Structure formats: structure tokens, C-alpha cells
Structure 1
Amino acid sequence: MSSLLILLLVCCCYEASAYDVKRWKQCTDPQKGKVYSLESSEVCDASTCHLKRGSNVTFTVHFSSGEAVTKAKAVVYGYIDGIKIKFPLPNTDGCQNCGLTCPLKNGPKYAYHAMVPVQKAYPKIKLVVIWYLMDQSGNNIWCIDVPAVITD
């Protein structure tokens, strides 16, 4: 499990074949924006996204902001066996290298891109990924949770 703690979600502009993620939901935390869809470069079936060890999984979140945003910060947690673990991000700047250019405006649709390197050393485990994009004041622009499993 300690190797899972180093799972890094690296923001970058990366285009790949995309699969619609069928099972995700917006968090119940207050949010200023709305998520319309989530895509993944790996297969996400009706119940889970499969994160293959030794691969880079790309995600695209299609959303709109409910406010003007001058700065954005990505924050990711994983729920593993009921324990909330914050994952460190080498690039938390949601305005750089993720397909977004700040300031964001209230209303238009945007596409946030991120890559998740899934190392071979990670254990095969089920988890729920909780992903936030927050504004300059620390308010949630959006928050999603995605059931996932690390596989071979």
C-alpha cells in the first residue's frame, strides 16, 4: 500500500484514444461548476476504470465553470479500504499544461487533461479516486469520484 501512496497524477496536455467513463459522479461537496463527461485512455466498464500497471492513463474532464477563475489547483485523494489518502501532485497548477488557460470564464465548456502514470510496482487494488479542481479561493470548481482498480 505504501507504493500506492506515491501514485502521481501528472497534468499534461496529451491526446489519445478516449473511452467514455460510464461510472463517475460529481461529489456531494459544494461546487461552482458542472462536469459534463469524463473520458479515459483505458477501458472503463459499467462499474470501474481499469488502471493498467506500467501504463500512462489519460483522463479528460469536460466541464464548465460557474464563476470567473484566475487560478486553478488540482487536488486528488484516493479512498482505499475507507481511508482517505491525499496523492501528491508534481504539477497542481490547473492553468498550465492541462489544456486550460486562465482566466476561465463563467459558462463556456472546457476540457481539462491529465495523465496518471501507473507504475508496475503498484499493488493490484480497488479504490475510489476523488479529483478536485479548485479556484483561487480554494472553492471547488468541480469534484468527481471515479471507482477504479489497478490491474495487470
Structure 2
Amino acid sequence: MDNKGIRTVALIVASFLAVSAEVIQFKDCLPSEGVTGHATSVELSPCTSQPCNFKHGQTVNVKITFTANNDTPTLKSTVYGIVFNVPVEFPLPNADACSNSGLTCPIQKGQTYTYSSSFDVKDSYPQIELVVMWKLQGASSNEVCFTFPDVHQ
């Protein structure tokens, strides 16, 4: 393949990735839940329309941008599905948000960070519509906590 062909393939791939990622609408968790900060942007892919519809066997990519409200030596990522108003944890393959996510700990107050991760939609996950709650938890507080879809739009 010549250079023109390689550029064309790269452009097609870049266009596909740009189209398949969606900046989603989300709602911050309540301050009473120990949240001191919030996400400034959340992107999910593949998500072609909202609410996002993930299928068994897909790998979902997430990118969360936030400004830290606290210094913290650690950061843990936790995801819950809200089923009948009860949060049910969905284990992530790597809950340590300071490794393999684009972040370097310690997290410093006032700095802006982008956390990136992915997870597989396992066949064992129920096929139901639910609200997802995502937390990035520091050593002493929740730096980020939000739910999606934002059902209060």
C-alpha cells in the first residue's frame, strides 16, 4: 500500500472513532454522598445515540475528564448498575485508576485529569435498562461521582 492509501485508511479509522464516541449527558451524585468534585466531560464509545445501548460481547471505552478538588495518593474506579434503586457493583478489570488509565498518582488538587478505561459487556450481565453510577474514589472522598443516562433531562 502506498502512502496515499495508508493516509486514506488512517483517515477512515479516525473518522469512525470520532463518530462512535459520544459525549454523554450525565448527572452529578449528590453532595450528601460524599462527593467533593465532578466530571467536566464523559465520553463513551460505542455510543451512537443517548441513552447508550451496549450489547453483550462489546468492549465499551470510557473517558472521564475532571478537576481534582483534593490531593489524594490513590484513586479507585467503581461502577454500579442501579437496579430497583439498589446499586449493584459491576467489577472492573482494573479498579486502580492510577494504573493503565492515563493517570499518574498522586492526584493534586486543582489539576485537570483524564481517566480512560474500558470494560467488556459480559454475557452474564442482565439485558435490562438501568442507570449506571460511576465513582472515582480518592483516599478520603469521592473525587467524581455521576450517573447516566441523566433521566432528569
- Flag whether TM exceeds 0.5 (same fold): yes
The alignment-based identity, stated in percent, is: 35
Structure (1 or 2) with the larger CA radius of gyration = 2
Structure 2 partner of 1:104: 107
Give 5+ residue unaligned stretches, structure 1.
1-15
Q: Does 1:79 align with 2:82?
A: yes
Give the Cα–Cα distance (whole angstroms) in 2 for the partners of residues 86 and 120 of structure 1: 16
**AA matched with 1:53:** H
Find the counterpart in structure 1 of residue 132 from structure 2: 129
| Segment of structure 1 superposing worse, 118-127 or 74-83 | 118-127
1:2-151 equivalences under 5 Å are 17=18, 18-21=21-24, 23-28=25-30, 29-43=33-47, 45-46=49-50, 48-137=51-140, 139-147=141-149
**Higher helix residue share:** 2
Runs of 4+ in structure 1 deviating by more than 4 angstroms, as ranges, are: none
Segment of structure 1 superposing worse, 71-80 or 139-148: 139-148
Amino acid paired to 2:99: Q
Q: How many residues align?
A: 130
Counterpart AA for 1:146: F
Q: Which structure carries more strand by proportion? A: 1
Helix, strand or coil: the match of 1:94? Answer: coil
Sort the Cα spacing of 1:120 and 1:86 in 2 relative to 1 into closer, same or farther, 3 A: closer
- TM-score, length of structure 2 as denominator length: 0.76
Query: Using the alignment, how far apart are the partners of 1:90 and 1:116 within structure 2?
Result: 7
